[in-house]
């Protein structure tokens, strides 16, 4: 392998072979050839003088693209499509006169991009569904395990480990919905001609407008699309790219939020991502268990989020029927958004399949805060036992501050419960303290919400991908 030139880390380290292939030269240029064949088939069917022999000749050379010859041609012509037309024509001398007949460069360029977007969205949707399934299994398993909730990153009312996980899943459910909407509404450019008017095809069919419309429909169907865009300039509107990349950027924000939470939980030693037996956390500190997978997800997700502005600015600057300043930018933006999203989701699937929970650590953290949170319940119990609410409130306030000082000033454990037990005022409710301080009484409907969320929101989505969801353990190569 040549290590002297730049290679994208998305290809060498992160993205899957399947996603890389969709953005490869082989897939791109073999798809160009398939599009030329689709065009010829539709034109022949509608009466143009094209033979089956010519089509068969082209079909025999769909995949054997001579990349070196195409590069030489492009160097001379400065035109990538004509370079490949010439190379394909040299391989198909009989078909040469009818290759690219009536078409503009965007016939192969844009239509290929739409095929890639379609197939790449299909792959991303499967990845998202697989992560949702794995995380939902985790949420259901830990639906009743109490844990500190946090607002402002300060301890708040208790939730459960499973309920918190549903917050991550809900974001991904929204991402699945957005991506699926785009996939289901994606259309084909088909045979719209040089500026979108179909003038060249109208000329080919001697002014027969009905046949031009049929040609557009037939090529659309051959490519596997149900509809084509009703109007285009030279290109399909780059608004399509904006919508797709925006949805992927939104997915990036979901991944970043979840993995940031995991990094915080790992710091607290409550929940950890998988850590292999031979894995090294630090070159200097042997004890370290760095959340490198979550950190990788956050890094890639931030890149995803930035790409949205690229797509939006490219669409905004497409003058009239089109300008070519979209080309170089789209080569980077479209491929990197899908490759980075693919890498994020594969890493996230690896994380979700092996998350480790430490209930004893979680319990210890709860016990440090729960006495404060239980103060209102203590007051209510005392009132029911005949006490005065205001007197009790003042007693609890004083004892809470004393216990807080032990924690903050002396680094000791929270001893509010011991202080309550030692105060004769609270004798009427001492038998109830164990129940009052039961963490499970502070989690509300969290466990029920997890089950309801699965039944009402998630189950239907997973059924759409039931036969394809990846349940086999994902291994990270690097």
The residues annotated as belonging to the active site are 152, 282
Would you say the C-alpha torsion 184, 223, 237, 200 has a positive or negative sign?
Answer: negative
| Nearest residue to 359 via CA among 155, 146, 166 | 146
* Residue 428 Cα to chain centre, angstroms: 56
Query: Where does residue 94 rank: exposed (0-12), middle (13-18), buried (19+ CB within 10 A)?
Result: middle
CB of 344 closer than 8 Å to CB of 287 = no
Query: Where does residue 92 rank: exposed (0-12), middle (13-18), buried (19+ CB within 10 A)?
Result: buried
| Nearest residue to 373 via CA among 108, 154, 145, 189 | 154
DSSP for 67-80? HHHHHHHHHHHS-H
104 DSSP assignment:
-
Rounding to the nearest 10 degrees, give the CA dihedral for residues 192, 197, 203, 205. Answer: 50
CB of 62 closer than 8 Å to CB of 34 = yes
- Cα–Cα distance measured from residue 148 to residue 157, given in angstroms and rounded to the nearest whole number: 7
């Amino acid at each position: 392998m040549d290590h002297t030139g730049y290679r994208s880390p998305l290809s060498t380290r992160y993205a899957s072979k399947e996603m890389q292939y969709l953005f490869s030269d082989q897939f791109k240029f073999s798809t160009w050839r398939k599009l030329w064949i689709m065009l010829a088939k539709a034109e022949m069917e509608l009466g143009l003088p094209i033979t089956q022999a010519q089509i068969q000749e082209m079909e025999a050379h769909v995949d054997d693209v001579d990349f070196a010859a195409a590069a030489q041609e492009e160097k001379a012509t400065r035109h990538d499509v004509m370079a490949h037309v010439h190379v394909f024509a040299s391989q198909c001398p009989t078909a040469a006169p009818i290759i690219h007949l009536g078409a503009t460069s965007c016939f192969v360029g844009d239509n290929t991009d739409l095929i890639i977007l379609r197939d790449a969205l299909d792959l991303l949707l499967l990845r998202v569904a697989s992560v949702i399934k794995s995380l939902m299994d985790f949420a259901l398993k830990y639906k009743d395990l109490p844990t500190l909730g946090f607002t402002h990153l300060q301890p708040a009312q208790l939730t459960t480990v499973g309920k918190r996980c549903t917050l991550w899943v809900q974001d991904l459910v929204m991402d699945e919905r957005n991506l699926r909407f785009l996939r289901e509404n994606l259309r084909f450019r088909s045979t719209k001609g040089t500026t979108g008017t179909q003038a060249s095809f109208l000329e080919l069919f001697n002014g027969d407008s009905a046949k031009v419309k049929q040609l557009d429909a037939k090529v659309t169907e051959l490519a596997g699309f149900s509809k084509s865009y009703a109007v285009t300039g030279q290109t399909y509107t780059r608004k399509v790219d904006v919508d797709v990349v925006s949805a992927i950027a939104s997915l990036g924000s979901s991944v970043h939020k979840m993995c940031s939470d995991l990094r915080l939980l790992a710091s607290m030693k409550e929940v950890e991502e998988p850590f292999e037996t031979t894995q090294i956390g630090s070159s200097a500190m042997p004890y370290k268990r760095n959340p490198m997978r979550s950190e990788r997800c956050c890094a890639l997700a931030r890149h995803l989020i930035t790409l949205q502005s690229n797509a939006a600015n490219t669409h905004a600057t497409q003058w009239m029927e089109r300008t070519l300043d979209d080309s170089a930018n789209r080569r980077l933006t479209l491929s990197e958004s899908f490759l980075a999203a693919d890498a994020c989701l594969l890493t996230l699937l690896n994380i979700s399949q092996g998350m480790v929970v430490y209930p004893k650590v979680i319990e210890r953290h709860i016990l440090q805060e729960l006495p404060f949170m239980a103060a209102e319940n203590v007051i209510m119990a005392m009132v029911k036992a005949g006490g005065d609410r205001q007197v009790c409130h003042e007693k609890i306030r004083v004892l809470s501050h004393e216990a807080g000082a032990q924690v903050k000033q002396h680094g000791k454990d929270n001893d509010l419960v011991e202080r309550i037990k030692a105060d004769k005022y609270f004798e009427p409710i001492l038998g109830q303290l164990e129940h009052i301080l039961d963490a499970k009484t502070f989690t509300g409907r969290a466990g029920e919400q997890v089950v309801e969320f699965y039944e009402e929101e998630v189950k239907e989505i997973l059924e759409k991908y039931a036969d394809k969801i990846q349940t086999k353990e994902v291994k990270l190569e690097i």
